[in-house]
Amino acid sequence: MTKTIYAYHNGTLTKDEASVVSEFPLKLTVNGRELATLIASPHDLRFLVAGFLRANGFVRSVTDFEMLSVCPDMSMANVRVKGEIPEKLKPVLTSGCGTGITFTLPGSDMPHGSALPEVRSVRPADLFALMEELARRAEQYRTHGGIHSAAVGEGGTITLYAEDLGRHNTVDRLAGEALLKEINLTGLTLVTSGRISSEMVAKAATLGIGVLVSRTSPTDMAVRLAEEQGIMLVGYLRGGRFVVYCHHELLDCSIVV
């Protein structure tokens, strides 16, 4: 939306027009049960819903959906999936913007050690290329601040791009678009503009992501989880530098000890 604003500079208040990021609440009902209200940006909501359900373990493939209906005018998404929704769900508030939500499902089968993704060595130049392309796309589509962006790619080339006011939502959007378009993300690199938290690493592991990269920092829990899941975790990638927090052996470069 566009709003009249007043900008202060050097003792003067000037009237202007500015775009303000949209915050869209979407009530999600699955198999007749109200599951959550997602706070997100208002575009491509089918990808967001499908990715949220995939990342939380409710679906694994596009064939698990019997119905996927999103009505933006009513701020509602009505979904029917194969199987039953567990009676007891443990909601976890995420650290993302707007406070998102994830679920811990009974019998969750997130990979542990034996099911690590097959990841080829990654060149530093490719990581820089992916982050630069992420920044270019963000500048191309962005008309205001307050938006996070993320992408998945390989060899310096972006495969899918997403943006949202919540950084965890960007990962859900990538997961949903890949699911509905039947794109395999196993072993790919995920780059994000935001901080990497443990729930983002958990979602990346569910998708089979091999490398997770941010312009900023990861949390301590994110580092521990990435170590367990075999994901190379990279932070502070900017200005020709970056920090590898775990699984540096996946990096194709010489190492000086």
List strand residue ranges (DSSP E) for the chain, in order.
Answer: 2-9, 12-19, 24-30, 33-40, 65-71, 76-81, 90-93, 101-104, 148-154, 157-164, 189-192, 211-214, 232-238, 241-246
List the one residue out of 243, 59, 47, 223 whose CA is nearest residue 152. 47
253 is catalytic: no
Q: From CA 209, how far away is CA 174, in angstroms rounded?
A: 12
Query: Beta-carbon neighbour count of residue 206 at 10 Å?
Result: 21
The answer to whether 187 and 120 are in contact (CB under 8 A) is yes
Q: From CA 165, how far away is CA 184, in angstroms rounded?
A: 25
Catalytic residue among 71, 97, 246, 253: 97
Residue for token digits 């089968």? Answer: 109
Tell me the catalytic residues: 97
